[in-house]
Structure 1
Amino acid sequence: MKKIMASIAVITISCSSKKTITTEDKGTGDTRTKTVELIDHSTYLLTEQSDDKTYGYNQSNPIKVGGVKTQEGPLNERRFLNALFGPSDKKMTYFRAGSCCPFKTPNGFINNSGMLDRYRLTEIGTKDTIDIYINMYDTGDLKIPFGLKAKEKE
């Protein structure tokens, strides 16, 4: 009976608000403390600026979007990247430059291991590129990387 009630609660929550994403089961690999909101299905609403200059730019401090357990890891990566704007308030283009940097995670598929995804971003109208490292295995609070901006809710 408890499982049925919990399932009904999850269904009710997920149907009542299409603009929020509940975090995955709290557990090892999950440090998220804030609910994630969406601007639309493919874009996160990012409101907090990171003051850590390594956040996302360094493989030892990747952006933890999670989603691997629910098969939404790549979608969560794109939701994060779609929210970013460059320092001049222009939209960013991006492409996945590959996987790198193996690491231990309880959410990994093989031997508790995962790989980071590295994306190359360019602000429209410039030739400058930056690399962003994203972890789709673990979840953490999502912030705007230092020096970048984010799309605002309309």
Structure 2
Amino acid sequence: METPAQEPSNYGYTPENPIKVGGGPDGEHEYLQHLRGPEGQQLSYNRLGSCCGFEDASLPFGGGMLDMYEVTYEGLEKPVTLFLDMYRREEPRAPSGFRID
């Protein structure tokens, strides 16, 4: 899989600019299984919980919540938190410092 162009540096790192993976929890896990460190390192991730409710009239319940994942890989100084949206889908990209394989 080709690595897409890098997004702005806050992509995935803030609730205002989440990674819109769609597909529910399975969509989140599939995305995280393809995400890698910058040199192809395998990730470890842990779901921290939900946060950051949002409204979206196109969704069945009129909105949803984002999920926060703590993500790390060998060589990363400290884990980072990524914000994923399992309800809405846009072609997911790699946040700054990561790549998709």
Scaled by the length of structure 1, the TM-score of the pair is 0.59
Q: CA deviation at 1:115?
A: 0.3
Q: CA deviation at 1:127?
A: 5.3
Gaps of 5+ in 2: none
Equivalent of residue 61 in structure 1, options 11, 17, 27: 17
Give the whole-Å Cα distance in 1 for the aligned partners of 2:42 and 2:3.
Answer: 16
Deviations 1:61-81 (A, max 9, x none): 0011112xxxxx101101111
- The structure whose residues are more often helix, as a share, is 1
Equivalent of residue 83 in structure 2, options 127, 133, 138: 133
Indicate the structure whose relative CO is greater, using CA pairs within 8 Å and at least 6 residues apart: 2
Give the whole-Å Cα distance in 1 for the aligned partners of 2:2 and 2:25.
Answer: 18
Count matched residues. 100
Give the whole-Å Cα distance in 1 for the aligned partners of 2:2 and 2:30.
Answer: 10
Moved >4 Å (runs of 4+): none
Q: CA 1:108–1:134 in 2, change beyond 3 Å: closer, same or farther?
A: farther
Give the whole-Å Cα distance in 2 for the aligned partners of 1:150 and 1:113.
Answer: 28
Equivalent of residue 76 in structure 1, options 27, 43, 46: 27
Give the whole-Å Cα distance in 2 for the aligned partners of 1:122 and 1:57.
Answer: 13
Structure number with bigger Rg: 1
Local SS of the residue matching 2:31: helix
Q: CA deviation at 1:46?
A: 6.1
- The structure whose residues are more often strand, as a share, is 2
Q: CA deviation at 1:129?
A: 0.2
